[in-house]
Structure 1
Amino acid sequence: MKVAMIGAGYVGLVSGACFSEFGHEVICVDVDPSKIGRLEKGDIPIFEPGLEQLVEKNVQAGRLSFTTDLAAAVGPAEAVFIAVGTPSRRGGGEADLSYVHQAARDIAAASGGRKVVVTKSTVPVGTGAAVRRILAEANPAVEFHVVSNPEFLREGAAIEDFMRPNRVVCGVDSEHARQIMRELYRPLFLNETPIVFTTLESSELIKYAANCFLATKITFINEMADLCEKVGADVQAVARGIGLDKRIGNLFLHPGPGFGGSCFPKDIRALAATAENHGAPLRIVDAVNDVNESRKKAMADKIARALDDDLAGRTVAILGVTFKPNTDDMRESPSLAIVPALQRAGAAIRAYDPEGMEEAAKLLDGVTWCEDAYDAMEGADAVAILTEWNIFRALDLDRVKKLLKRPVMVDLRNIYTLDEMRAAGFRYVSIGRSEIRAED
């Protein structure tokens, strides 16, 4: 099947590459000529494990290509995907749909025959109906079918999530649209992957509801961690104890400095705004957003307490600045709140991240970027782990202790055990567990 993917960002590029791996002929379109130029040279503009190899394989096979010419891509396509950005509007949580609406107008202008137009972008309820109206008004001579096909890709594991998903959700408005989606996802049908066919509105809401529920689990365990610290409990034991209940499950019960990334914060705000606009406010969702924002700011205070609330003239080594490992994505990362707060309190920052430093340098001023974790720690008064990259899980603690002015570690991801940090002689502060002092 011939497919046009409008938008060659994270979702569009991953989805386009994976559809081409399924055997479809995919053309990814983007308005940014520099991005298309890089992709044509095999230079992948984002970090995602396995993506470079997947793109190269399918480009060489002739199934995947890139262009800035939307009309040339849309003309022969049977299915056209909209995978453009939907950022939050300034001053409110509503999703900015201007790129989606413009893509729909451009698709209509470029279409000369029947088309299935699929929204892959994360969009609020009612967007599919709006896209259908735009298409019909812009080109009433063409028969358009509209689909909502939300993505559920985790950064760092996106290819696996696309190729072996828990489910695929398709909101369709016709039998023809249903058949096109079945053909697109035929390899997954053969693997008996659950395919949920529903209405446009239900599909759009499924995406937001899923992300907000997962964010709620994270926020719940973060608040439980705060309670554990007060009463002397261990949040990891609590998480395991409740996670073994099959009604709850153990995923997304890992305490930390708050969630970030391109999806959860934006989607929470958008769902809350949609609910408010329809007179059905979601108080749990509102609370999740408020708690998460305040948590990021509180983490800087936690680091300061490990240095006896005296950061003036101190140096803090920061390990990991991306919102999660295996990505270079800095969007809504806790580090964007934590690092500036430490700097305002007088601390100098030395930082290292395996993939995110280039992007982080555009967003964080006054940071000394280092060659590796040990370089960041040299001469620092304390080290704080913000992102749980695997290379931080087995640091040489004896070497760390020698590099630091004082043996202080703040582990906001709980990647070390209390026993090993006690044995190593550190003052060790983590999330939802007892603090270990060097003299303990």
Structure 2
Amino acid sequence: MRLRNATVAATAIALVTGGSAVAEDLTIATVNNSDMIIMQKLSPQWEEATGHTLNWVVLEENVLRQRVTTDIATKGGSFDIVTIGAYEAPIWGKQGWLNALDDLGDAYDYADIFEPVRNGLSADGTLYAVPFYAESSFTFYRTDLFEKAGLEKPAEQITYDQFAEMVAQLHDPENGVYGTCQRGKAGWGENMAFVGPMVNAFGGRWFDMEWNPTIDSPEWKAAITYYVDLMNNYGPPGASSNGHNENRALFADGKCATWVDATSAAGYIFNPNESSVADKTDFFQAPKQVTDKGTGWFWAWALAVPSSSTKVDAAKEFLAWATSKDYVTLVGESEGWVAAPPGTRKSTYENAAYVEAAPFAKTVETSILAANPADPTKDPVPYTGIQFVAIPEFQGIGNYVGQQIAAALAGQQSVDQALANSQTFAVREMTKAGYIK
């Protein structure tokens, strides 16, 4: 029955969106996150309903960004559908690299998508990517280990200093449990997704109001020194190689007492089919320090159609299906409601089956709606973005800084050297781009 309903829904969407009269062979590039793996698993239902076929290129996050950015910028035409995020969508849309997606039809129900998510994927009022899932960040923790250590769940947002005190009490490497697992793998969307909000918490910012980089500031030094000390004292070995997926696996295997990361991971961690600690996990806000501004990030993974694709109609059919209300229902009924794509549609959070299955549902909704990319730091800044800066130059700068901080975490250089190198690079890039006169 579910397959039949999904087929009917896919056919209806094809009719509403105009549908492609010819069966097309589409190439889709996506990240290897659990939600996208489910999308790949369920996509044969769409293929059966429409006659189109999908060729999947599933890549690790950093590799995906590199491959897709190169192909999009050079109009290579390798992909008909790409997985991008809230950073790329408005920038690439404004540059003419993406097809507009305002024409998926009334049945798609654009009004059902949370407004901040819709706005984050738009440029000048035009939608250039449709959200597959959206997220903020919070702290996962092991309830059994907290109880054993005599710790209580924080009633309000704690500081990073308080967090470190908790982590020290929970660290038990002799029994295979590390006090905390945080992203260390270099990349603007990997380690810097955690480090950026942490720098915000310590009162830092990427640029001042004249676009001068501030990476060598006391605030950055305090934040990165804290991070390196925390991970070297209480993190797992080889932390500089661990990104989101690696830490998610460590936490799910019972190796981490705490983990500050994407709210979207809750669907995996609380799923007993995937996680050994599903019944021993709870969550609280990501920590603050001197400020609570910009301490919980905002992100959306989304699907877009490059302007270089020659199969736009068929690609839009898939986007309309894979990000629809019907798709959310399909995942809930076939994979368990706890695994339904979070953070994008109001209807998901009005669904009693989802809310009952997902104890984190209300917190995730509140966190996403509370995130304010327009006011991310203690001191004023000329940019928007919490864990990234919404300018084209940030991708290169963020990646370089991520590499320098990963090297400091691995003990290959000092924190001071990492920040000095990062500052020099950022000043050069911002001067070259004309931000600094």
TM > 0.5 = no
TM-score with structure 2 setting the length: 0.30
Flag the structure with more relative contact order, 1 or 2, with Cα contacts below 8 A and sequence separation at least 6.
Answer: 2
Larger Rg: 1
